[in-house]
Amino acid sequence: MTDFNLDDFLPYQLAELSRRASAGFSRHYKKVYGISVAEWRVLAHLSQQEAVSVREIHTRVGMDKPKVSRAATRLEAAGHVIKAVNPNDRRLVELSLTPQGRELIATLAPIAAEYQARLIAALGDGAEDFVARVRALTDALAEGERGK
């Protein structure tokens, strides 16, 4: 046996934290609105920009391109997303929210904000510092990925 303890390994702790935090919020939108985690991430990303390619979403949210494509196809079938060929690069398909998709995000955004407020409250007085450190670590790791 080694002295290695998985429970003390920071990547494991962060993965567990992410899994549990995501599961807590996803229970609501899965049950009430029938969307998956991947679909939520696509919707949330699209709510930040007008039209976005699958490639851009894949890069931003860290999901495999096929998973983003499947989520986009389901969202399109449900009437939340429109797919259109990029006029400047016909190889790219851009996604954008429909009015129904914007309405869904408008409904989910306050629920997401309330869930985040509960998570922040659970952190207590050090919440702001914790969030800043998580963001700094995320940025440092992203910079390392770009510098491969």
pTM: 0.85
- Residue burial 123-136, b: 16+ Cβ < 10 Å; e: rest: eeeeeeeeeeeeee
Q: Which pLDDT belongs to residue 148?
A: 61
Average pLDDT by stretches of 10, the chain with 148 residues: 91 94 91 93 93 89 90 97 90 93 96 95 95 94 78
CA distance to 5, 65, 73, per residue, from 70 (Å): 37, 9, 5
Which residues, in sequence order, are bridge partners of residue 6? none
Strands 81-85 and 93-97: antiparallel
Q: Which domains does the chain have, with CATH numbers?
A: 23-147 (1.10.10.10)
For residue 92, which of 62, 55, 39 has the smallest C-alpha distance? 55
How many other CB atoms are found less than 10 A from the CB of residue 54? 21
What's the number of CA atoms in the CB half-sphere (13 Å) around residue 59? Answer: 8
